[in-house]
Amino acid sequence: MSDITYLDGMDVADLAEPAEYVDAVREAYAERGAGADARPRTKLTRDETPGMMTGYLAILPEKGYMGGYMYAAGFGASDAWFVTPLFDADEGELQAIIDGASMNPFKTGATGAVAVDELARDDAKELAVIGTGSQARGQLITTATVRDLETVRVFSPTRENRESFAADFDDELDAAVEAVPDSTTAVKDADIIITATTASDPVIANEDIEDGTHITAMGQYDPEKRELDADTISRATYVPDLRERIHQDAGSFILARQEGMIDDDHVHGELGEVVVGDRPGRTSEDEVTVFDSGGTGIETIGAASMLYEKAVAEELGTTLRSFPASEAMIGN
């Protein structure tokens, strides 16, 4: 028998600053760039129910942890339940179970922020955000830790949502945050664009994107849905979180390939390869770059291990008992 730490949503909520998530996720992607193993999402559904079960796995041996991220979503209550088990990478012992919902926007946002730091211009200061949900909020909070933003323009089709988003962040950030009536206005002169939507079709047009812009697209991971059009993907230096997932659920890439605009060689490299320098980041001022973020266990275990270590140091969480198979299985 061993003790494990359970961290619920309240334990996690204020445990780490956005910049700490970014540092932890950067370290995790550096491990991936050096060869750490990770697998793209597995999604299970049933015809007779509207919901799904989704999971990811990653091993980060330098950090000393491995584990996964799983959630059930879309059932009758149209809600989601997230959980992250964290194991010791050397011994396999369960260390912690973490309520994943509270950290989700921060660890996903931190992944986008790492990509911004690697791929956006150093002098980027104007940001466009398409979408106003929790993921858009997480992306903005973390991106503000890697660039000195002066202007943020946000668009959502729902006026109330974009105005509420702008009001919240205009008080929170040093940047001026403004709600705008359409995506064209949002992306005009933007140095960085974040798309965090549930849209099935492109939410910005290639002709509206200025040379030198970086785009983080993280709202869709479905082979038949996309936030970016084929012209944008074809034009850009394209970097996914995991190369293995691009033919599985990177809809913008898949549909651009089907339209004959790109081939498999269009993948510049994974984010981890860019972080460790195996693939270059931005190489020119007028280059358009795209980071396609579909979610992985890499950022999850990176963030979860950071939270776990902080919780142990601060004596937070609930202690639970866990029995290894040698003690728990019948006949042992």
pLDDT band, residue 332 (cuts 50/70/90): low
**Residue range 280-302, pLDDT digits in tens:** 999 999 999 999 999 999 999 99
3-state DSSP call for residue 141?
helix
- The full 3-state SS of 148-212, as one line of letters, equals CCCEEEEECCCHHHHHHHHHHHHHHCCCEEEECCCHHHHHCCCCEEEECCCCCCCCCCHHHCCCC
Residue intervals of the chain classified under CATH 3.30.1780.10 are: 2-104+297-328
DSSP state of 315: T
Q: Does domain 2-104+297-328 have CATH number 3.40.50.720?
A: no
> Rounded mean pLDDT of 101-106?
94
- β-pairing, 289-292 with 237-240? parallel
Residue intervals of the chain classified under CATH 3.40.50.720 are: 112-292
Give the residue among 130, 256, 116, 259 at the shortest CA–CA distance from 198. Answer: 130
In single-letter form, the type of residue at position 225 comes to: K
CATH architecture of 112-292: 3-Layer(aba) Sandwich (3.40)
Cα–Cα distance for residue pair 251/7, rounded to 1 Å: 34
- Residue 77 pLDDT greater than 80, yes or no: no
**Residue range 205-231, pLDDT digits in tens:** 999 999 999 999 998 888 899 999 999
Cα–Cα distances (Å) from 35 to 60, 133, 242, in that order, read 9, 33, 12
Question: What dihedral angle (degrees, nearest 10) is formed by the CA atoms of 19, 161, 8, 16?
Answer: 10
What's the pLDDT score for residue 75? Answer: 85
Cα–Cα distance for residue pair 306/37, rounded to 1 Å: 19
Token pair for 196: 């965090």
Residue 61 contacts residue 302 (beta carbons within 8 Å)? no
Across the chain, mean pLDDT equals 95
Residue 126 pairs with which residues in a beta bridge? 151
> Given its phi and psi angles, is residue 204 left (phi above 0), alpha (psi -120 to 50 degrees) or beta?
beta
pLDDT band, residue 327 (cuts 50/70/90): confident
What's the pLDDT score for residue 325? Answer: 85
Give the residue among 275, 281, 293 at the shortest CA–CA distance from 28. Answer: 275
What's the pLDDT score for residue 220? Answer: 83
